Structure 1
Amino acid sequence: MTNDTWTLGDRTIRRLGFGAMRLPLAPDRDAAAGVLRRAVELGADHIDTAAFYFMNGLAANDLIRDAALGPEITVATKVGPARAPDDPFPSGQVPTGALRGEVERNLRELGRDRLDLVYLRPGGIDAPTEDSIAERFEVLAALREEGLIRHLGVSHVTLPQLDEARRIAPVVAVQNRFDVSQPADTAMLAVCERDGIAYVPYFPLGGFGLPDDPRVAKVAERLGATVPQVLLAGLLALSPAALAIPGTSSRAHLEENMGAAGLRLTGADVAELTG
């Protein structure tokens, strides 16, 4: 493992990957495939997806399958949220008894015999719940024992929920909301760094629009970089356990995001961003 890579269970991946949530917003399948293949060309060997990432007749899982990515590409997905075809966002949770079916759906859609990493995501888009996740995580742990899943993760969880999951089976990654301009989940990040768990935040670029933060703008101007590049490089500089999975359907934005891999921030830069 180097500063640019992370060992995820038995796989070593680059810390800057690609999130597929926005991929279905591409104008058509060819454009989406071009973005995905270019992400791999630029070094992304960790692709994050979900069966509920779909829009306008395009689905991220289908696009990833059709791109025929090699086995050296780690594909992570997540299960738990339920989204009907007409829902703009997931609007509930699939029943515990349906989690196996969701894993099998991801296997079919991705065209794989085994899923590299599956996150259990409880709750919706609001703050994480305090509910027990044990029963639902046990289902995924059993599927891991069957060989359908290589590694397990949890998403949108609290520290007690992470502890609960780890008592059932090894957890190699946590995916919570975080960006360096709003570092609210620092306790979870610290636990992940201490225990060798990857911390893979969703919305590393702020979510629904870039943050209008003068600290970020100032660092970007000083370094001759863009705001997205500083947000991503800042995340990677904040902790060796932090991975970044920025997503886009734009080739230009992809090139910009992946350029963050070559941007080196100092401790003073990070302190300015998070202070």
Structure 2
Amino acid sequence: MNAVKAGIEYVLVLSVLGATGYFLYTKAVPLLTPPCSTSVEYSIGSIDPRYGLSTSTLVSYLKEAEAPWNKAAGKTVATYMETGSLKVNLVYSEQQAATSLGKNIDADQKVYVAAKASLESLRRAFEQQKNAYEAAVASFNAASEAYSAEVAKWNARGGAPKEIFQQLENQKRSLEARQASLARDAADINSLVTKINQGVTALNAAAKKINAKVSTYNSAVGDDFDQGDYVSDAQGKRINVFEFTKAADLKRVLEHELGHAIGLGHVENPASIMYSYNVGSGLALTEEDVAELKAVCKIKS
């Protein structure tokens, strides 16, 4: 009876997602009219359908983004109007495509990790069954050798007495039953090996696809890129948002760009809305944000 050998071997090295760096805001464009002399009236320009965001949802986000500025100013410095001259656009950029791909990679990796854990569980089951099988085979072989030696002894004497002969017959039937059981165990183990090897093949194929996506992602995302900008030129005034990961991220970008539309420049506190990089969280204004607003709008404390 042959021992079972499992050909299980896989080596997977997933690429590490490249750091996206920080999201860079563009600088404010100097205004031709005195800041805060009139309320900035904005409206919705265009929303790329790939964002899956409705006009009403974007308007609600913008109202959340304008609220801190209006409260700090003690008056309305930014407000939504259907005919507002400042157009807010969601532009589906290469960076957003990379962000979406990054989310897809995260989902794929979770599935991969779960599949790998399941495969490792099967491998542990295989090791347990293989060890038990090998121990059973060793025990069977020892019993078989003892039986053969006993048969040879009595054959050398010209035959065994009836009682001994019956005992040997019983041992033979027991050994045959054990052999049949071992054959079934071997079939079960070989079936498990086939299942494991199929899982390894599928897992390696999944890893290959993930690594290809990671390579695309790393190539698409640079160290710094514009997450949004405010533009005022001959074509009009507009806020363009190029990338965001979630609603809270989008609201913060909108609040920053509305600040530029009001006339504010960048401040030095990394936690501030008007810091040049989007590294903070939430919509609350910092002391530096409020100081910049009051200085630009000439609001007395």
- Higher Cα Rg: structure 1 or 2? 2
**Band of TM-score, shorter chain:** under 0.3
Could you tell me the TM-score, scaled by structure 2's length?
0.22
Identify, as 1 or 2, the structure richer in strand.
Answer: 1
Structure richer in helix, relative to its length: 2
TM-score (norm 1): 0.23
